[in-house]
Amino acid sequence: MDVYIPAPFRRLTGERTRVESHGSNIRELLEDLEAQYPGFRGLLFNEQREVPAHINVYLNNRDIHSLQGLDTPVHEGDQLAVIPAMAGGAQDDPALALTPEQMERYARHIVLPHWGTEGQRKLAQARVVVVGTGGLGSPVLMYLAGAGVGTLGIVEFDVAEVSNLPRQILHHMHDLGRPKALSARESLADNNPEVKVILHQTRLTSDNALDILSGYDVVIAAVDSFPTRYLMNDACVFLEKPLVEASILGYEGQCTVFLPGKGCYRCLYPIPPPPGLVPTPAQGGVLSMVPAIIGPIQAVEAVKLILGIGESLNGRLLLFDALSMEFHQVRIRRDPNCAVCGDSPTVTELIDYEAFCAAPAHQAAGGAQTPEP
């Protein structure tokens, strides 16, 4: 039987996160754990040989109190988790403690290394805004809600159309003609009613971007418009917000992360392509499964930023080709000559991005130079 050992107990198992234990029921498993690791003696059982109230035991993510308690039978392949109360930080506030229902809902995340109940609480306190609820925004929002991100902002002004349904999983037949923001909120509530959803039913513009994006910890771009893409980038640079950027077209997708002071979208693409050169997904088509792959990658990157774990895609551009089923990465860097985040920026406030993206290339450049490969 595989037993998950949380951080407070790992000193007793030689810092091992998972150990093997043997027995036909929960009691025998815990007794075998005591026998293997003597430091557990006096911790797992009280004087009545019951598990003390400050320790929760989960079998396959279910609290054993909802099963047969210590007499619950176990079988090969089952997984056990022994989760004690932990002192320090936000845990001292009862209002921030995870409820039994939350422990069960997020059990498969809580047992992950570097996650635990502390990580789950960080997610509950995090605020993430997603601009767009289309092919990318739909899976991003669904997975962030499922993971327990406490507050999700949605910036969306469009209505649901039948051509959206193959890839925009937040919207359904009964939503046709309705604002996407409303159908997105309803779908997220069906998945996780604990998540607070804030709707911004408007187009993101230079007049409102700073006000809207400033209230969030992480910004996610799920848009198919170059003016909005450059607007979000510049706003995030000015606000010093991390931006999780992605795009899709045809059978391909790409994703990266821009962190404050470590480069931006303009470092990668100093100027937009000439109007009409790069088709939108509506013009060039998009395989509906591609955003279902790239969107969750954006969600993963956002969660990693919130928890402070792993290595983000900052400094790397991830490329995906569905036809060859291959992922590639290329290194990208901050451009010291960047018009927005460079050493001597020439763009210091939000501009007219429709005009910027419609201007000839030499006029749109604004002093930026293409970075060296």
pLDDT at 95: 53
Q: Bridge partners of 320?
A: 253, 327
Contact 22, 99 (CB under 8 A): no
Residues 6+ apart with CB under 8 A from 56: 63, 82, 83, 84, 100, 103
Closest by CA position to 117, among listed 81, 86, 150, 143:
86
Closest by CA position to 294, among listed 321, 316, 268:
321
pLDDT at 177: 94
pLDDT at 15: 76
pLDDT at 96: 61
CATH fold of 126-364 reads Rossmann fold (3.40.50)
pLDDT at 55: 87
Domain definitions of the chain by residue range: 2-92, 126-364
Closest by CA position to 8, among listed 50, 56, 49, 61:
56
pLDDT by residue for the chain (373 residues), tens only, comes to 888 888 778 877 877 888 899 999 999 999 998 899 887 877 888 888 898 888 888 898 888 888 999 999 999 888 888 888 754 444 445 556 788 889 899 999 988 888 888 899 999 999 999 999 999 999 999 999 999 999 999 999 999 999 889 899 999 999 999 999 999 999 999 999 999 999 999 999 999 999 999 999 999 999 988 999 999 999 999 999 999 999 999 999 999 999 999 999 999 999 888 776 766 667 778 899 999 999 999 999 999 999 999 999 999 999 999 999 999 999 999 999 999 999 999 999 999 999 998 855 444 443 332 222 2
Task: Output the six-digit token pair for 255.
Answer: 């994703």
* Residues found in the chain: 373
| CATH class held by domain 2-92 | alpha beta
Asked whether this chain's domains 2-92 and 126-364 adopt the same fold, the reply is no
Identify the three-state secondary structure at position 202. Answer: coil
